[in-house]
Amino acid sequence: MKMIKKTTTFLELAKPRLTILVVFSTFTGYYLGANGAIHFGELLNVLIGIALASGGALALNQYIEREFDAQMKRTRHRPLPSGRLQPKEAAFFGVFLCLAGIAFTAFAVNMLTSFLVFLTILSYLFAYTPLKRKTVLNTAVGAIPGALPVVCGWTGARNTLDIESLVLFGILFFWQFPHFLSIALLYRNDYQRAGFKMMPAMKNGDRWTHQHIIVACIALMIVSILPVVSGLTGVLYFVVALLAGFVFLGYGICLAIFNTPAFARRLMFASFIYPLLVWGFMIIDKTGV
């Protein structure tokens, strides 16, 4: 029983729900990049490598921020602040998973994908994580490693970087602004208590945050129709992406007008649904390139 509890705690450290979302975006990139029939063995190798790297990076992020997580209500029950794991255990676990993910993709997938996995880990841990306590630009920096997994899926299938993969990157990149900024609005006191530099805590922070959300939603709508222009997807995806984009933008505008926690929460929930809807219909309506 004790071993099972420990294993569950390590799994919690890898943030399985977020890792599943990362794996899903990777699967989408692979599926869209694949020519002809899907090679399930290759696909499985790509997903395993990304899952290992994602879990490791998320674990190391919590190791680095363990003292700050202890000061926040939303994170103080995580494995490290709560004392259910020791820092050395978390560090070893995170390093092992990261190295395993990089090595596995290098040997079982291809070197380009392995390099992108390495770049994702590097930018997440050594750019985004420290910048969270230095500048509000951390959200823009963090959107880069957050958007790279879908590119890893594409390169896992093709072993090349193509314009279509950059379009997929752009969709995930701009999606992250309304997602993370809505969370920053809801938990601004927590972030301030821990010393994280988030946009809502700036002078005129709400106004700047709302403007960034709206601009990002507009950019997202534009980028999200490019897969149709490039011939990657068809009309069905176009209709769904356009409608989803308008709804997402509508939530952002309502938040800017009413500026209440209720609308911030609605935008946050919409941000969870949006990528699942868009990726799902990309998969359904793939036409090939």
Are 243 and 201 in the same domain? yes
The candidate with the shortest Cα–Cα distance to 117, out of 210, 49, 64, is: 49
Are 59 and 116 in the same domain? yes
pTM for the predicted model, two decimal places: 0.95
Are 151 and 173 in the same domain? no
**Which amino acid is present at 23?**
V
Q: What are phi and psi of 233, to 5 degrees?
A: -130, 170
- Give the per-residue pLDDT at 6: 82
267 contacts 255 by C-beta, under 8 angstroms: yes
- SS3 of the chain: the string is CHHHHHHHHHHHHCCHHHHHHHHHHHHHHHHHHCCCCCCHHHHHHHHHHHHHHHHHHHHHHHHHCHHHHCCCCCCCCCCCCCCCCCHHHHHHHHHHHHHHHHHHHHHHCCHHHHHHHHHHHHHHHHHHHHHCCCCCCHHHHHHHHHHHHHHHHHHHHHCCCCHHHHHHHHHHHHHHHHHHHHHHHHCHHHHHHHCCCCHHHCCCHHHHHHHHHHHHHHHHHHHHCHHHHCCCECHHHHHHHHHHHHHHHHHHHHHHHHCCHHHHHHHHHHHHHHHHHHHHHHHHCECCC
Q: CATH code at 269?
A: 1.20.120.1780
Question: How confident is residue 287, by pLDDT bands cut at 50, 70 and 90?
Answer: confident
* Whether the predicted pLDDT of 108 surpasses 80: yes
Residue 137: domain span: 1-160
* pLDDT tens digits, 155-185: 999 999 999 999 999 999 999 999 999 999 9
Are 193 and 144 in the same domain? no
Average pLDDT across the chain, whole number:
95
Are 278 and 208 in the same domain? yes
Q: Say how far apart CA 176 and CA 127 lie, in whole Å.
A: 16
Are 1 and 135 in the same domain? yes
Residue at which a domain ends, from 116, 142, 160: 160
Partners of 286 in beta bridges: 233
Are 54 and 139 in the same domain? yes
Supply the Cα-derived Rg of the chain in whole angstroms: 19
* Whether the predicted pLDDT of 289 surpasses 60: no
- Give the per-residue pLDDT at 64: 97
Are 11 and 47 in the same domain? yes
Q: What are phi and psi of 67, to 5 degrees?
A: -70, -35
Are 93 and 211 in the same domain? no
Question: How confident is residue 36, by pLDDT bands cut at 50, 70 and 90?
Answer: confident
User: What's the total number of domains in the chain?
Assistant: 2
Residue at which a domain ends, from 105, 140, 160: 160
**Which amino acid is present at 267?**
L
Q: CATH code at 119?
A: 1.10.357.140
Partners of 233 in beta bridges: 286
59 contacts 94 by C-beta, under 8 angstroms: yes
Are 50 and 121 in the same domain? yes
- Give the per-residue pLDDT at 288: 63
Residue at which a domain ends, from 107, 128, 160: 160
Are 147 and 259 in the same domain? no
* Whether the predicted pLDDT of 1 surpasses 90: no
Are 79 and 181 in the same domain? no
Which residue has better confidence, 37 or 138?
Answer: 138
- Give the per-residue pLDDT at 4: 77
Question: How confident is residue 201, by pLDDT bands cut at 50, 70 and 90?
Answer: confident
